[in-house]
Structure 1
Amino acid sequence: MKLVAITSCPTGIAHTYMAAEALQMAAKEMGYEIKIETQGSVGAENVINDKDLREAIAVIIAADNSVDKSRFKGKPVIEVSTMDAIKNSKGLIKRALKTKEVFVDDEEYSKVDMPNKEQKKGVYKHLMNGVSFMIPFVVAGGILIAISFAFGINAYENEGSLAAAFRKIGADGAFSFLIPILSGYIAYSIADRPGLVPGMVGGYLANNIGAGFLGGLLAGFLAGYTVYYLKKIIKLPKNFEGLMPVLILPVLSTAIVGLIMIYILGNPVKAINDGLTGWLSRLTGINAILLGTIIGLMMAFDMGGPLNKAAYTFGVATLSSGEPSAVMAAVMAAGMVPPLAVAFSTVLAKNKYTVQEKEAGKAAWALGASFITEGAIPFAAGDPFRVIPSIMIGSAISGALSMAFGCTLTVPHGGIFVFFIPNAVGKLFLYILSILIGTIVGGIILSLIKKDVVYTQKAEA
């Protein structure tokens, strides 16, 4: 029997491929054939074709953002998060094989085969869909701004210079799309293609008014649900139904969202956004340390889950002005620590890890250095009550130290690879020190509380 699956996470880097690997291994152990399409940062790979669909008896969608399910009409479909696939891949395959309800369309599917717990993830999934489309713009813009700083921290002020060109492309080009893209694809996740126009227009207005990232979030959800309910309320004769997606929905929804953003939400959200920006810019001493600690705890607690992504999204939002961000620096430092801490522990306490875990520890060094927090998941899954508290302490220390030292970052990702771009990291030595201290503390704590393996190296070999 053959199954097909899609895996997709907001960043399209770690969870996408970890979920695919978990499902592949589980299917092989259970004696089933499975083809998995990964929708990662480089686009769709191993794409499911018509032949695969004809042969498939069920579909598994393990995604943290919206995935087009239209091609699966008539097939039994289950939809879960990537973390569910990583943690319980065999259970998902069993559940898929037992599923009787088939996919008809998004509205009907939402009523069946979706436990209440999964239905409540809707808002988070819509948000992550917007973030996933926004991230490439943040990365491209952030790296180009960082390159402009490489010529000198104020070199971009010289008009006509290469530094000024890179700054213009990054800040005035890529960054100008951040909020419209975020809003547009939140609305797209809720209402499909008709949500794009009001979502992007609402995001543009939020950005133009000064409501910033918060305004963009509100505009996206407002646009999505406006279109969603307009489709339910407006009923046209069959001969005129073709006017709905091309005329009636875009015009009505864009007008409604635009007027609400201009006359109702725009200025109050701008005031909140200005207040938050001012508060962040004035953070010093104990307040900065406390924020860094909270960020660290969130980044390590679920390693790519909702809390981790909430902290990351908050950090990305602080980059939208195009200026170096202390919050983003704390986010990345704290996110690098979990894999690095467990990797350090596998070296420090070799007798407490199996051969397989020590091999995984080697990979964790690379994953941590690349700011892929998910590299710690295999260790946390095997021993959560020792691993998770240890890495949370390490990440909290790194986040707190990064904020206390006043370190800043101009890019949202990249790990140690951005260290080589001059001026991309403010106070680079202290930043590296904050990561090292968190790694060492987390690794030592884990090494102390971890139990020895219960079988000998000889038996293991």
Structure 2
Amino acid sequence: MKIVANTSCSTGIAHTYMAAENLEIAAKEKGYEIKVETQGSIGAENILTLEDIQAADAVVIAASTSVNKDRFYGKRLIEVDVNEGINNGLELLEKALVAPVYKAGEKEAEEKQVKTSKSGIYSHLMTGVSYMIPFVVTGGICIALAFAFGGINAKGDLAQSINEFGGIAMGLMWPILAGYIAFSIADRPGLVPGMLAGMLASSMNAGFLGALLGGFLAGYTIILLKKVLKLPSAFSGLLPVLILPVLSSLFVGFLMKFVIGIPITAINEGIMNWLNSLSGVNSILLGLLLGAMMAIDLAGPIGKAAYFFGVASLTNLGAGETSEIMAAVMISGMVPPLAMALSSTVLGKNIYTNEEREAGKTAWVLGLSFISEGAIPFAAADPFRVLASVTVGSAITGALSMLFKCGIAVPHGGFFIFFIPGSITNILMYIVALAVGTVISGVLVTVLKTQAGRKASTL
């Protein structure tokens, strides 16, 4: 049997490659031949050729972003979330071999145009997120480097230039988010009204919520116009390059500017003012909540919601200012892989398999890089004990970060940002918060797994 697969996640950093690896391991175990194309952060790798697809008996798509399935026409195809590829490789391969043959008929075309299910909406959102994150990370790192070269106020031509580059990259994140949400819904015609909606959200200070709603509005506006507008075949070529972009941009632009944008801006500013007013116990509770959210599904939908909450708090600050919320979010997201690395390579080597110990070595690097997905291999094998343990440690770390009033000026980078002067306030206590949460989670998961092993041995 020969199978081809495509894996993709919103960030293209960890889930993409974990799913690919698990599918390859499952295929080897079953004696199948497999080729997996990964849509990662650096683009498509191990690309499936026409010959690969034609020779395949089945297709597996494990992705949390929208994937063009046209090239798989006529093949047995199963499409699931990327987490299914990580957790259920063997089952997916078996299901793929008896899956329905993919044909882009009326039903599939309708589903492609209007996805009302939660999985469809989430897929559109994650497509926008996957394109946006590199802008956020690049912009944040550039701003941090500007602090390193020119102090907290980025003085000097070099520092000012780098700071300008960072500001431009960060400024593009809302247009990119909205544009590629619309692109996921309506293909290329959605880009223009989507990016316009994102720019309006940015200029009106409507933030993440404005860009999110604008992207969906733009995408579904294009879908509606395609159904309503019926032109003679001689003029049909004008639809995607002229008529659809102009009409949709006017409609979406006016709605954003005079209807939707105004209340969303008020909501966004109200939330930011409320966050800035938090202090004492309230801020600690917020840190506790955000920390738990960052660990409970290891960078899944809940974790991403907390992350964008932090990013939103950062984008409303001036030059040289740091966000306590973003600091709590990032440090909490580092805890799960670091805790599992500590448990599997130091505290409880004997309770893990050789593969898990090797994964633990990698988890050190992933944790320091703020890639929470580094804990996924452990959670897949023992979800209850692992997720419960890392959630406790991450929540405590988030609370301590807020208690110590630690702040950060960038939205990503992990431990490597610690070496850039001015990027973190109260850095010593920030490290303490990370260490405390990591140790608590590491000890907790080691104890729980040891007790479980003892109970199993007595049965």
Show the counterpart of 1:86.
86
Answer yes or no: is the 8 Å Cα contact 2:179–2:195 preserved in 1. yes
Does structure 1 residue 293 correspond to structure 2 residue 282? no
User: In terms of mean alpha carbon deviation, does 236-245 or 438-447 score higher?
Assistant: 236-245
SS at match of 2:3: strand
Alpha-carbon separation, structure 1, partners of 2:123 and 2:106: 14
Q: Report the Cα offset of residue 119 of structure 1.
A: 4.1
Q: Tell me: CA distance 1:92–1:254, structure 2 relative to 1, closer, same or farther (3 Å).
A: same
AA aligned opposite 1:127: L
Aligned twin of 1:134: 132
Amino acid in structure 1 at the alignment position of 2:72 = F
Is residue 337 of structure 2 the alignment partner of residue 342 of structure 1?
A: no
2:270 corresponds to which of 264, 270, 275 = 275
Which sections of structure 1, spanning at least 5 residues, go unmatched?
Answer: 456-461
Residue equivalent to 1:196: 191
CA contact (8 A) 2:208 2:308 kept: no
CA contact (8 A) 1:219 1:261 kept: yes
Kindly provide the amino acid, as one letter, of the partner of residue 36 in structure 2: I
**1:7-47 CA distances to partner (integer Å, 9 max, x unpaired)?**
11111110000000011111111121111111111111111
Aligned positions of 1:61-100 closer than 5 A:
61-100=61-100
- Structure-2 change in CA distance of 1:406 and 1:39 (3 Å): same
Cα pair 1:203 1:219 within 8 Å, conserved: yes
1:352 and 1:452 in contact (8 A); partners too: no
Name the SS of the counterpart of 2:172 in structure 1: helix
Code of the aligned partner of 1:228: I
Preserved contact between residue 76 and residue 98 of structure 2 (Cα < 8 Å): no
Moved more, 376-385 or 103-112: 103-112
Q: Which amino acid aligns with 1:166?
A: I
Cα distance in 2 for partners of 1:47, 1:427 equals: 46
Match of 2:164, as an amino acid?
K
Measure how far apart 1:111 and its partner are.
Answer: 5.0
Matched residues in 2 for 1:226 and 1:269: separation?
19
Q: Which runs of 5+ in 2 are unaligned?
A: 455-459
Shift of 1:300: 1.0
Q: Could you tell me whether the CA contact under 8 Å between 2:397 and 2:437 is conserved in 1?
A: yes
Aligned length: 448
Query: Which residue number corresponds to residue 459 of structure 1?
Result: none
Task: Give runs of aligned pairs for residues 280-359 of structure 1, distance below 5 A.
Answer: 280-321=275-316, 323-346=321-344, 347-359=346-358
CA deviation string 1:178-222 (max 9, x = no partner): 111111001111111111010011111121222222211111111
- Structure 1 letter corresponding to 2:119: K
Q: How far off its partner does 1:151 sit?
A: 3.4
Structure 2 length-normalised TM: 0.92
The reply to whether residue 179 of structure 1 matches residue 152 of structure 2 is: no
Structure 1 position 396 matched with structure 2 position 395: yes
Residue 41 of structure 1 is matched in structure 2 by 41
Task: Determine if contact 1:332/1:413 at 8 Å carries over to the other structure.
Answer: yes
Secondary structure of the residue aligned to 1:65 is coil
1:105-137, CA deviations, whole angstroms, 9 ceiling, x for partnerless residues? 69616659xxx9x94211111111111111111
Distance change in 2, residues 1:154/1:370 (3 Å): closer
1:205-216 alignment, distance < 5 Å: 205-216=200-211
| Secondary structure of 1:155's aligned partner | coil
Q: What is the CA RMSD across the aligned residues, in angstroms?
A: 2.1
CA gap of 1:106–1:58, structure 2 versus 1, over 3 A, is: farther
- The one-letter code matched in structure 2 to 1:149 is F
Q: Deviation string for 1:399-420 (max 9, x for gaps)? A: 1111121112222222111111
Q: Which amino acid aligns with 1:279?
A: W
TM-score by length of 1: 0.92
| Higher mean C-alpha deviation, range 370-379 or range 14-23 | 370-379
Q: 1:107 to 1:199 in 2, by over 3 A?
A: farther
Q: 1: distance between equivalents of 2:422 and 2:87?
A: 40
Aligned AA (1:333): I
Residue 95 (structure 1) shift: 1.3
* Residue of structure 1 in register with 2:224 after alignment: 229
95-104 vs 233-242, which deviates more?
Answer: 233-242
Q: How does 1:344-383 map to 2 (within 5 A)?
A: 344-346=342-344, 347-383=346-382
Matched-pair contact (CA < 8 Å) for 1:183–1:221? yes
| Distance change >3 Å, CA 391–CA 368, structure 1 → 2 | same
Q: In structure 2, give the amino acid aligned to 1:263.
A: F
Task: Tell me what 1:19 maps to.
Answer: 19
Distance in 2, matches of 1:199 and 1:53, equals 33
Percent identical: 56
